[in-house]
Amino acid sequence: MATKSSPQSLKNKKFTQLADLKDKVLSEDYVYDTFETYKIKGETLNNGKWDYKVKIKDFSKELSTELKVQFPWNRYWFWLGIQSGGAYNFKFHVDAGDFTFFGRRFNLFSNLKTQTNFKSFQLRLGANYWGDVCESNTRLEIYGNHGSNENALTQRTIVRRGSLFYGFVGTIGLQTLSFKLYDAILGYEQNNVNFYLQHKSQAGGKDGNHGFKLGKLVATTVVTRDNLDVGAEGWLQDNNFGLTLGAQSRLNSSTTLKGRISNDLDLTLAYKKKVNSLLTITTSALLGLKDPKSIFSNSSAIPVPLGFQFELNI
């Protein structure tokens, strides 16, 4: 169930993502690809919230900014986002709240992405269903004047039975009737052990081949013991193989140190510190150990990819 400050249709980070995996040791806080990120978050009246983000990827380029505001009104939730750059810089989302139909709980939502000049847009209409065992999400996407993008229908279903869950997400292009996405997951979560096996599709369509073809197979496992998390993820695609190992240590209630290394010998480190109830600072760096001499021969002021993130909650 969503909290008062989280409408159901926004509870998932990404609609086409199969599930929120417990793999933070391998995925979160690695902010080295953006030199500086500033986040300011706060609350609005009536359990709403807002946040403002500024990214400085390269001082020679324009800043990337994003403002998001989320607030309720009666049974509805409204979400407004404005950002610089990208295909769309204006987003508007409406959540119609939950309702019961034949004893089942459903939710309806709609959102619009467009440019400030409204020359192109992406309209989405969707419905969610939550049962005791099954979650089902359906979304229709309609594009207007935006290149080669095709109207599409996406369906995601997740079934949970105790510690085991499985599911799929598929997207069909409505003009070509071709599969754009066909992902699947099998997961096991219990106490301090989590395991996931995923198929991430590589659908045809742009080259005229609209059939199924095997995509990327990904196996992930994360084990937690006291204040230590250890994770491993391997993938296989077209006879290519990759492996990432990671570990995270919670040094105390406010400090986290983590790192991961890939089979290409790319070592990523991250340090996260909650300075006080308002400010959290994260720093991260990427070291290419396969050719360490290149680090010291780099003529840049900062020879390695390095990032800082400052998050302020007010």
With CA atoms as reference, report the closest residue to 26 among 220, 287, 295. Answer: 220
With tokens 């509805």, the residue in question is 76
What's the rounded Cα separation, in Å, for the pair 97 and 190? 31
**Confidence band for 210, pLDDT divided at 50, 70 and 90:** low
Under DSSP, the state recorded for 295 is H
**Residue 105 phi, psi (nearest 5):** -95, 125
- 3-class secondary structure, 294: helix
**The token pair that represents 236 in the structure block:** 């296989």
Phi-psi region of 293 (alpha: psi -120 to 50; beta: other; left: phi over 0): alpha
* pLDDT tens column, 50-70: 999 998 877 666 788 999 999
Mean pLDDT of 60-88: 84
Q: What is the pLDDT of residue 15?
A: 61
What's the rounded Cα separation, in Å, for the pair 88 and 83? 8
Q: How do the domains of the chain map onto residue ranges?
A: 237-314
CA quadruple 20, 25, 27, 30: dihedral sign: positive
pLDDT at residue 207 is higher than 70 = no
Q: How far is CA 147 from the centre of its chain?
A: 25
pLDDT at residue 206 is higher than 70 = no
**The token pair that represents 60 in the structure block:** 């020679």
Kindly tell me the burial class for residue 15, based on how many C-beta atoms sit within 10 Å of its own C-beta (0-12, 13-18, 19 or more). middle
**The token pair that represents 181 in the structure block:** 């996405």
With tokens 């989405």, the residue in question is 124
β-bridge partners, 280: 274, 311
* pLDDT tens column, 15-50: 666 767 888 899 888 998 888 899 999 988 778 899
Mean pLDDT of 243-257: 96
Kindly tell me the burial class for residue 309, based on how many C-beta atoms sit within 10 Å of its own C-beta (0-12, 13-18, 19 or more). buried
Quick one: what percent of the chain has pLDDT higher than 90?
A: 54
What's the rounded Cα separation, in Å, for the pair 65 and 83? 5
What's the rounded Cα separation, in Å, for the pair 242 and 118? 42
**The token pair that represents 84 in the structure block:** 């610089």
Q: What is the pLDDT of residue 137?
A: 92
pLDDT at residue 134 is higher than 60 = yes
* Per-position DSSP letters for 9-71, written without gaps between them: GGSSS-TT-----S-HHHHSS--TTSSEEEEEEEE-GGG-EEEEEEEES-TTS--EEEEEEEE
User: Which is more confidently placed, 299 or 93?
Assistant: 93
Query: How many helices and strands in the chain, by DSSP H and E?
Result: 2, 19
Kindly tell me the burial class for residue 3, based on how many C-beta atoms sit within 10 Å of its own C-beta (0-12, 13-18, 19 or more). exposed
Under DSSP, the state recorded for 8 is G
With tokens 């004893």, the residue in question is 103
